[in-house]
Amino acid sequence: MLAGLPGTKTGKTGGNNQVDILDATAGNRTMWQTKNSENIIYIDIQKQLWVKPTIYASNEQTPFRDKQFHTIFYDPPHDYGDKPFDFNMGKVAVHKQWLRKKPFGHTYYGWDIYKTKRELIAHIWRAQKEFQRILRDDGLLWVKWCEIRLSLKRLLNIFADWRLLMKIHVKSPTQTWGNKQTYWLLFEKKLKGKQKQLFT
Ligand SMILES: C[S@@+](CC[C@H](N)C(=O)[O-])C[C@H]1O[C@@H](n2cnc3c(N)ncnc32)[C@H](O)[C@@H]1O
């Protein structure tokens, strides 16, 4: 299935043919203004998506080669357990309507994939470990986080091997539940003992 896909282990790589941006949790690509860029590989594990990913793959173990990407986007599930987060809180009527229209309902947020807090944390830990492998040393990792179940502080503990460069607070009403906030976080790798040259 992967044979010939540009940028994969089995496909042609190198030169301008290289696809070096990854959307590691593509979902239905709702966050993107341009839904299909030839510069981005979209992956997801969920089969009932309206927009099919470039390939179905888990971001915990990808088919990509070491240091393939210069940028990775990661918008993981932020909910877990058998019962979805109570979206009745506060001002989320719009959001509830939106979810009702989806054939996959709340599963979009991953609550039925990761049954416990421990499983969700373990997933995020394994994904960030894989990103350490497939991201270039000077690459950038964008992570979207919504605090509905896990605080930002707890999330940042999982990203101990990453340096937080930027924290953008998303203030849209559809991204805020009571005092639970949503952020875009920008990370770079913490490189141990490596000095870069400013000039050659
Ligand atoms: C919050 S949604 C992403 C929404 C997406 N960014 C958008 O713009 O529509 C989280 C997505 O992560 C996917 N996901 C969960 N575990 C995954 C894994 N191990 N590998 C890849 N995708 C995963 C889910 O199937 C779901 O589509």
- Delimit the domains of the chain by residue range: 16-189
The amino acid present at 117, given as its one-letter code, is: K
Can you give the pTM of this predicted structure?
0.85
**Integer Cα distance of 193 and 195 in angstroms:** 7
Quote the ligand 1 centre to 90 CA distance (angstroms).
Answer: 25
Query: Does residue 108 have its Cβ closer than 6 Å to ligand 1?
Result: yes
Q: What is the pLDDT along the chain (200 residues), one digit of tens a residue?
A: 454 554 544 444 444 578 999 999 999 999 999 999 999 999 999 888 889 999 999 999 999 999 999 999 999 998 887 665 555 544 344 455 555 555 555 455 566 788 899 999 999 999 999 999 999 999 999 999 999 889 999 999 999 999 999 999 998 766 666 677 899 999 999 998 767 778 87
Quote the ligand 1 centre to 62 CA distance (angstroms).
Answer: 14
Task: Classify 16-189 by CATH class.
Answer: alpha beta
Q: Shortest CA distance to 182 belongs to which of 157, 147, 130, 156?
A: 147
**Integer Cα distance of 113 and 102 in angstroms:** 17
